[in-house]
Amino acid sequence: MGITLDGLSSGLDTTTLIASLMKVEAIPQTLLKNKVSDTQVMASSLQALNTKIAALADLAKTAAKPAAFDVYAATSSSDKVTAVSTAGASAGQIDFVVDRLSQTQVSVTDALTVWPDSGLTLTAKDGTATTIAVPSNSLDDVVKAINAAPAGVTAMKVASGTDSGGNPQYRLQLTAASPGAAGQFSISGTTAAVTEIKTAQDAQVTLWAGTAAAQAVMSSTNTFPELLPGVAVTLASGSLGPATVTVARDDKQAAKMASDLVTALNGIFSLIAARSAVSTSTDASGKTVTATGPFTGDSTVRGVNQSILSAASMPVNGHSPSEYGVGITRDGNLLFDADKLTAALAKDPTGTKAALAEIASRVSTAAATASDKYSGTVTSQITGQQSAIRDLSDQISSWDLRLASRQAGLQSTYAALEVALGKMKSQQSWLTAQLSGLSSSSTGA
């Protein structure tokens, strides 16, 4: 039942009155909505924190591997020889002479207008022969047939002017699919003249050249993946001649690994500090207002911060991490000193690398304990916050029904009041009229 005209009988602003009453009735729901908003801020902040901690766990896990800080860099005395260190490299130096570069066999036919035979045979280095039949004497058909055959050779047609009759001529270029001597092939079964343009050959270097210990090493490509353990050497055009490859400990790479770890740790500490801060401001009336961050007073976040900080700053075998360049500041952040790490690596490389790996391992464990997607402490708290949001949202929905019912009740009550007042006014008017009639009769008598 609705009210079409406010206060028709009572003169009251019924709509405003009911709206004011509903604001009071809705206070519990408003408090629930505010709580949902606060819980959502907390859940969002925890998710941001968990993402950073999970990234730290992955980084620290990598840094905790035995070879993570055992980094070596390879350099070459020749700008035509590139040396790259990989896992397993160790300090050392080797001299060698580049004797020849790798070549892939290329053969070319004389100029042709059509293929002169019904096919051809390609024979690999190991003696495997592949006979290729072609459906016509079209050079395009020959190219397609060669490329489709498992002969380890690719073909292409190259324009080569015209013959005496003005017909276009082409030469077929045949190229081994595999580089080096292993890709060598021969052509038979055709009357077409074929010229070998490039001979199949492996690249070759000689170690300790000019000595009784001289040793030739060959590769089908210009890259020697294990010329030294953990070192790949690549030859460039014009690299023939002597070269020296030197492998030395790469302190810069080790320092970068440690620096990245410290940066990730500080990112977490900074996030926690920023969202745990208490700030004050002044409102329009001049009153001081205090605001707290979502992490303020949260024991779980505080515990995670402490466990990760302890993992990074506690001694290793009686030695402070600061001896290896990882120090702690007064405000609870970490500080990385590359010079200290370099000095420690120079003095005791084995012990320093082991200590850094131990610190990384502890950090990895602490971070994983917090961020594990199933059982992590921060993950569990996020799940709890999300569950609370769902429960509060259900309560808010229930209040929507309750408030709608209450508003309908108020509207019905005030509508009934207006009707009752209307009737009373009608009765009053009738009584007034009756009394007025009686008075007139008395006066006339």
Q: How far apart are CA 308 and CA 371, in angstroms?
A: 12
Give the CB-side neighbour count of residue 218, counting CA atoms within 13 A. Answer: 9
Q: Are 170 and 201 in contact (CB under 8 A)?
A: no
- 223 SS3 class: strand
Distance CA 251, CA 297 (A): 42
- Residue 110 DSSP one-character state: P
> Looking at residue 1, what is its pLDDT?
44
Query: Residue 13 has what DSSP assignment?
Result: -
Contacts by residues 64-68 (CB-CB < 8 Å, ≥ 24 positions apart): 64/357, 64/358, 64/360, 64/361, 64/364, 65/357, 66/357, 68/257, 68/356, 68/357, 68/360
User: Taking the mean position of all CA atoms in its chain, how far away is CA 81?
Assistant: 34
Query: Do residues 74 and 84 lie in contact, with contact meaning Cβ atoms separated by under 8 Å?
Result: yes
Query: Are residues 303 and 272 in contact, defined by beta-carbon separation less than 8 angstroms?
Result: no
CA 311 to chain centre: 25
DSSP state of 357: H
Residue type, 16: T
Element (H, E) at 242: strand 241-249
Phi, psi of 302 (to 5 degrees): -60, -40
Unique residue bearing structure tokens 């492998």: 247
Q: Which of 217, 12, 197, 259 is nearest to 99 (CA)?
A: 217
Structure tokens at 373: 């997607």
- For the chain, how are helix, strand and coil distributed in percent, rounded to 5? 45, 25, 30
Q: How far is CA 281 from CA 277, 286, 296, in A?
A: 13, 9, 17
- Contacts of residue 25, defined as CB under 8 A and 6 or more positions apart, other chains included, come to 403, 406
Question: How confident is the model at residue 3, as a pLDDT?
Answer: 44
Of the candidates 68, 112, 73, the residue with the CA atom closest to the CA atom of residue 92? 73
Q: Between the CA of residue 97 and those of 78, 136, 211, 218, 243, what are the distances in Å?
A: 11, 50, 12, 12, 6
- Residue 415's SS3 state is helix
245's torsion region: left (phi>0), alpha (psi -120 to 50) or beta? beta
Q: Is 374 helix (H, G, I), strand (E, B) or coil?
A: coil
403 class by beta-carbon count within 10 Å (0-12 exposed, 13-18 middle, 19+ buried): middle
> How far is residue 74's CA from residue 249's CA, in Å, rounded to a whole number?
9
3-class state of residue 189 by DSSP? coil
Query: Rounded to the nearest 5°, which phi and psi values hold at 301?
Result: -65, -40
- Bin 102: left if φ > 0, else alpha if -120 < ψ < 50, else beta: beta
Q: Contact, 158 vs 125, CB < 8 A? A: no
Strand order from edge to edge, sheet including 203-207 = 72-76, 241-249, 92-100, 203-207, 215-219
Q: Residue 347: enclosing H or E segment and its boundaries? A: helix 338-347
- Region of 180 please: left (phi>0), alpha (psi -120 to 50) or beta: left
The residue with tokens 């009707």 is 419
Per domain, the residue ranges of the chain are 1-71+250-419, 72-101+203-249, 106-198
Mean pLDDT in runs of 10 for the chain (445 residues)?
A: 53 79 85 88 93 96 88 94 89 94 97 95 96 94 96 97 93 97 96 96 96 96 93 94 94 92 96 90 82 90 95 94 92 92 92 94 96 93 90 87 86 79 76 73 59
